[in-house]
Amino acid sequence: MAAENSPVKVDTLIVGAGPGGYVAAIRAAQLGQKVTIVEKGPLGGVCLNVGCVPSKALVEAGYKYQNAKGSEDLGITTKEVDLDFSKVQEWKGSVVNKLTSGVQALLKGNKVDIVNGKAYFVDEHTVKVTDEKNTQTYQFNNCIIATGSSSIEIPSFKFSERVLDSEGVMSLTEVPEKLIVIGCGYVGTELGTAYANFGTEVTFIEAAKDILDGFEKQMTQMVKKNLKIKGAKIITQAMPRYVEETKDGVKVTYETKGKEEVVEADYALVTVGRHPNTEELGLEQIGVEKEDSGLIKINNQGRTSVSNIFAVGDIVPGPALAHKASYEAKIAAEAISGKKSAIDYKVIPAIAFTEPELATIGLTERDAKDAGYEVKASKFSFAANGRALSLNTPEGYVKLVSRKEDGIIIGGQIAGARASDMITEIGMAIEAGMTVEDIALTIHAHPTLGEMTMEAAEFGLGTPVHTM
């Protein structure tokens, strides 16, 4: 039986050490609070350990493997390119270790006490933290819950050695010959793209009309075209029914157009969404209100129905994105310190690390019109940009959405190389209330991909230089 010691008193207790939790802990400590952070798994949470970071490492490795095969357009040919997937996984692990070690150093540097264990709320000021040997009680003035989310498991597709979630597929020791991806949001599409680049024959099965919900059709069409070039098969408006595991793989039965079809592969990856980790915390007995989905209800400072308990990240309404969690974490920590900080979801960038990369922020042209705005959409093509051509990445565009009456930018989309890095300028413009003229008058370095944002702004003014 676990031993229990005398209660430990802290100003602020953080439950969960992902991008929401560890950022909340650091910000709270910076503001003078005595902080303890509790995490049952490794520091960094899903994002750093088995999500955002390792998936992008795998995506990049697949992309580099394809590039290593050469490009006849550039006059580069190679006779043979070897792939040692065990070393890919080793490198991916080294990236994760560097970042998680960095998080630990930052927490310690800010004098945050780190506790490993599972937290359970006794009352609105007390939790019990249990590990394999001990139970320790912590009494706090305020608490921020940042326990993140987990992959949704379809009842007819129970996770196993052959039916994998995103963590499982990223931990494979060898490149599969065939892979079925069920669910084509950004997680499934990114990981499917990575393995397609490694040479896997990938079949995507999506229940909706298109892949990558939330991105404009013109953007997703580019991704689908590139996936098909890699030999991938994309089946939309198809409902997965059940899976049969065989000795060496899986048989997935799905329904499309009223008919059942079967596809076989070595593994099936199921990425149909995530559910909040709000169970088994004891929240019900202390009165923290939740929605039917399990998400915790909060106000504009992250405060729950229990005034001294806050919640951030995947466990509250809104997109399950690491940067959203970190943003909310800072607000909650500042609110506890008495600051008037408040959440403003004016712009949250969404990115898919596909080929090409997709990024969207603010309103799309269609969403803006649906919201009653009279808008002007202005685009500039990668094919007309010197840096894009020198990178041999002429596919894509930059698009600005602005209000007709005053030119204020309210949205933007980028499809193309390094869209993930370029979208921030548009986000800054929206936050600052800038106009297309403000962007056009800002001198952008040449030759860069960033110039295309300026060029799109000039197009919006009716004074384009490098396009008709």
Which residues are the active-site residues? 446
**For residue 28, what are the CA distances in angstroms to 36, 40, 339, 449?**
10, 21, 11, 38
Residue partners of 33: CB distance under 8 A and separation at least 6: 11, 12, 333, 336, 337
Comparing C-alpha atoms, which of 373, 432, 423, 427 is closest to residue 402?
373
CB 12 within 8 A of CB 140: yes
3-state secondary structure of 345: coil
d(CA 394, CA 403) in angstroms, rounded, equals 29
The residue type of 402 is S
The angle formed by the CA atoms of residues 127, 129 and 135, to the nearest 5 degrees, is 115
Residue partners of 312: CB distance under 8 A and separation at least 6: 20, 21, 24, 144, 145, 146, 302, 325, 328, 329, 331, 332
N-to-C CA span, the chain: 76
CB 311 within 8 A of CB 291: no
Q: H helices of 21-84, where?
A: 21-30, 45-50, 52-68
Structure tokens at 110: 């800010």
Following DSSP, what letter does each residue of 421-438 receive, concatenated?
A: HHHHHHHHHHHTT-BHHH
